[in-house]
Amino acid sequence: MQLITRHNRTWAAVLLVLTALVCVLLAQQFLSMRVEEPIYPGPGVTEQRMLSDWFPGIKDTAADTPVYVLQGEQPGNSMLVLGGTHPNEPAGQLSAVLLIENAQLSVGTLYVIPRTNNSAFTTTDPQEGAPMRFTIDTPNGERWFRFGSRATNPVHQWPDPEIYVHASSGQRLSGSETRNINRSYPGRPDGTLTEKASYAIAEMIRKENIDITIDLHEASPEYPTINAVVAHEDAMELASWALLNMQMEGMDIMLEPSPKNLHGLTHRELGDFTDTYAVLMETANASQGRLRGRTNEALVVEGKDKFYVRAAQYGRLYVPFDENGHPLNERVARHVTGILQFAQAYNDLGLGAIAIDNMPTFTQINENGVGAYLNAPGE
Amino acid sequence: MLYVYLVLVALLIVNIVWNMLREKDVFVQVDAALVLVPLILRLLLIK
Amino acid sequence: MKRFTRILALVLALAAITAVMSAETAYTFRTSKEERVVTENGEFTADLIVDPVLITSIGQSADVSMLDALMKKVGATYTFDPIAPAEEVAKYKTVIIASGASSKGLGAAGISQEQETARAEAIMKTVEENEITVILAHLGGPGRRGALSDTFSDMVLGKFTDFAAEKEIPITLLATIADAMTVLKDLFAPVAQ
């Protein structure tokens, strides 16, 4: 079908003006994702630093990100919690925020990074139809959080290569994985923005002698490594002990060894290139799965999806999935419980001392909701 | 490499606008306008 | 008529596929929230255990690490070697084998599936020749019941409630891995934690 006119230049001018208007409107939407959600540190936070303090190469870049330090009254060992490695896996970020706003250390030091891939929070993944934000009800009103992308924003690191070659191992992956921070460890000081970010984290672990590193993730219900802990071989004993403790608290959770031939992940590379006990935790997130229905805020927060219920009935999933779904409350409860049990296991095994107090239990988070433990604005 | 790609995007935008002004079929002009949106946003490093 | 036949065949095929996919498993879970440990065909008692004891894995899933943690928690005395070869197994009187396949585990241990299969065959020959007591521990739950895992379990003893019923040997079923502590405490001298 054609519409031929003699006034083509006029039409072109009109369309260009409309294009400019659309660009302005869209730009407002996209740039709004660069506004950071507020976090209100609790009394346990003794210091707030930036990741660039340990590697100045990321200063004034999108990779720089806040690090919250909770130092205990008594000296002891240390733990690092990485939330927001993949910002489309919100339980990781929210669990980190819960620690920042509630935890108090009596022994040792806790480092928390709520937005590990800070750049990835500024965009969503293309063609996923994901919401930009979600809200959590709290007794003091709504708190909002961004729902970001799995990878660094392409406007911060572009173009992607055809093939991504992992620097230290030579492993070859799809070019888009160059922006996945969890394929970039241990990083490089002169690498891409994503590699610099992971290098900064590795430097922080080495310089602070961080004893345990826990990377918080989520996965789609059809993914086999789910409701699981993946542990580096050096951390296997610690992880086993922690898992038993979690099971005694009513959590059904599996243990997987970190594969030696898959490179770039925290549980492999941080275990190999630093002295930290490196583990990763996964929970079930329907909003990032391939079988999901409408991707909206409700799916992110409530975790209910009728298509996943049907898939579960067909035996196609690796987690149980019924009409109750897997709400964010349950997922955050699992992560928080895991973190606390890792600290407890570390003590029980006589490896060192770290004591994290004032955190809600698995049952409390499930029953009262995450919002009950988020601080009021300005608190 | 980033600047090379930005120059490529800029050239593409100029090319599309140039063709839009010369195109006589309005529907094709609309298509061109649609294509311009993501290119402009990428040139400005917004999206 | 030909088209009708084709459509009918397609509908029947789709119905059959749906029926297969919707079919419920025949297995009935014995354990529950109220009854977390269920033992059938006899009891697990301490006289089953003869020192020295070895814990090993067939399949190299991380479940063997869980078993190690459980044994530590109950204060048992044992040797832990997930990749023990048959000649090493021969030195023990009781072997607890954690069965369950994991490609990640095999890769982490630097073992191929073929090598693990050969090792399993050699171990089972050794335990038979030396009259070593074998306890099969499958702790991975339904998630650790793929084809390879089941093959390894069959190589050790057999799959699970059906095999135990047929051979009339004790089997304990657990609601969670942590519940294994109840059984292990009965088997090994309880020690204050």
- Domain containing residue A102: CATH number: 3.40.630
Hey, which chains touch A, using 3+ CB pairs under 8 Å? B, C
Measure the CA–CA gap between C160 and C56, rounded to whole angstroms: 18
Q: Which SS3 state, helix, strand or coil, does residue C92 take? A: coil
All residues at 6 or more sequence positions from A188 whose CB lies less than 8 Å from its CB, including other chains: A167, A195, A196, A199
- CB contacts < 8 A (A, C): 68
Has residue A178 been placed in a domain?
yes
Say if residues A55 and A200 touch (Cβ distance below 8 Å): yes
* CB pair distance less than 8 Å for A240 and C65: yes
- Alpha helix segments (H runs only) across chain A: 8-32, 90-102, 193-208, 236-248, 271-273, 297-302, 306-313, 328-348, 362-368
Q: Mind listing the pLDDT tens digit for each residue in C121-170?
A: 999 999 989 989 988 888 877 666 667 777 777 777 767 777 777 888 88
Has residue A23 been placed in a domain?
no
Has residue A21 been placed in a domain?
no
Chain C contact residues (CB < 8 Å to A): 21-22, 25, 60, 62-63, 65-66, 68-70, 72-73, 102-105, 107-108, 110, 140-141, 143, 176-178
Helix pair A236-248, C63-74: axis angle to 10 deg = 70
Distance from CA of A247 to the nearest CA of C (A): 6
* CB pair distance less than 8 Å for A255 and C102: no
Query: What's the domain range around A153?
Result: 43-373
Q: Which SS3 state, helix, strand or coil, does residue C63 take? A: helix
* CB pair distance less than 8 Å for C108 and A255: no
Cross-strand partners of A47 = A69
Q: Which domains does chain C have, with CATH numbers?
A: 26-187 (3.40.50)
Looking at the 3D structure of chain A, how many domains does it have? 1
Please confirm whether the linkage preceding A159 is cis (ω < 30° from 0): yes
Q: Rounded to two decimals, what is the model's pTM? A: 0.89
In which residue are the tokens 């740039």 written?
A31
Would you write out chain A's pLDDT as a tens digit for each of its 379 residues?
777 777 788 989 999 999 999 999 999 999 999 999 999 999 999 999 999 999 999 999 999 999 999 999 999 999 999 999 999 999 999 999 999 999 999 999 999 999 999 999 999 999 999 999 999 999 989 999 999 999 999 999 999 999 999 999 999 999 999 999 999 999 999 999 999 999 999 999 999 999 999 999 999 999 988 899 999 999 999 999 999 999 888 888 989 999 888 999 999 999 999 999 999 999 999 999 999 999 999 999 999 999 999 999 998 998 999 999 999 999 999 999 999 999 999 999 999 999 999 999 999 999 999 999 999 876 5
Cross-strand partners of A49 = A67
Q: Which of chain B's residues have a Cβ under 8 Å away from the Cβ of A120?
A: none
| Number of C-beta neighbours around residue B27 at 10 A | 12
The token pair at A280 is 């990763």
Give the mutation candidate from A18, A23, A152 for the B interface (greatest B CB count, under 10 A): A23
